[in-house]
Structure 1
Amino acid sequence: MIASLIIIGVFIVLGIILLNGKGSFLIAGFNTLPKEEKEKYDTTALCKFMGKMMLALSFSMSLWVFSEALKVRWLFIIGVVLFISLVFFTLFYVNTGDRFKKENH
């Protein structure tokens, strides 16, 4: 349970950093793009979206901790389903529709 709380804390801190539009180097795939490619994206909007997702993921993981503390198995199941759903939603949303591309490129 302590390890879960540490991971949740790290996710919350990273979420807050990203919500402030900072920390784009933390986003996998984006940090490996060449500088010319990075300039085509609205980095602040991408960071803010990923920050919201990090906070949502930390909420779903907190359900795992509550499940263990309260000995309620269905909370764990809801947390896992929510976590997996958020991961798939994030992957789909970010990688389709050029949502985070700048208008002038």
Structure 2
Amino acid sequence: MATANHQALFLDNIILIAGNLAVSDQQKKEDRIRMWVNAESTVLELITKRNLKKIQIYAASGRKVIENIRPKTKIDISTLSPGMYFTSIETDDGKTVTSKFVKK
């Protein structure tokens, strides 16, 4: 509905779910893996409290360009061409985290 100076939007069947932050939610936040590319676009840096088992990096075409067993928190990406890449990070507890990054 609209008037000369006001607009209104009417919605029906809205469900609002509210709750408290549970311990498991906080645990998930602490277990996350954060990553970014340094300013020179030569190193992919990882920050995590998890033990990493393996990281695989794929080009946007799907071709695997890096596989690193027992990776450190800094991975050399200086030989990669600029573009978007996808990561698959496996942890010692068997979980796999996927993400993406852009190399400039």
State if a TM-score over 0.5 links the two structures: no
Structure with bigger gyration radius = 2
Q: Could you tell me the TM-score, scaled by structure 2's length?
A: 0.22
Higher relative contact order (CA 8 A, sep 6+): 1
Q: Could you tell me the TM-score, scaled by structure 1's length?
A: 0.22
